A and B are shown apart, each in its own frame.
Chain A
């Protein structure tokens, strides 16, 4: 298992830029985590119960299907726009982001 390659792949998926030194550091740490997981894998399945998907043993709450009227700010624009970058964050009422295509 090429730990350095795995570290680079995870970093790429997380949009992180790693130096070669960092790749080595994290590869060592990652290896320890994976070794620990291997240890868990060696526990016989028959000794385990059903997988735990959530620590609370409660079912989810449900909401009735009622829609709220959209919130507007004092200028009559969608109120969520205040969360956009104040300098170059909007085009009309859409969020402006670097070109995708």
Chain B
């Protein structure tokens, strides 16, 4: 990630303003959706008690081995937008001597997250040959709706996809 590169030789390609701005813009576009999805993945782990921003960032850093870097200040507008869109709900609690805002996924948020995650997983799987990487989806654990790519846990006894309504009974269980 370019944001992590603090020193470089002036004659290196990254020293070129044009190159740097082009790649930074590409990274920013690519990261916009991924950051949201990654943040939601962490919030989903705290369904009961919720999670506050700083804790979320620390977990994200740890999980992605500090590769995925969200500029810290921009995490909060993302969380606020998700809250406004009805995917998250928040609650103010005092913790460690500070007022903190704890975020939790709503029912709708869980459904949307499963769909977005399913779509992204299938997309990664589809483009993996182009990038010469191998992506193996946990298909024993989850079923990906063949119609809309919704991610459905295999252990749940669901007959129809809750996003597109496709009959998934008997599909790869």
Q: Answer yes or no: are A and B bound together in one complex.
A: no
Chain A residues with CB under 8 Å of chain B are none
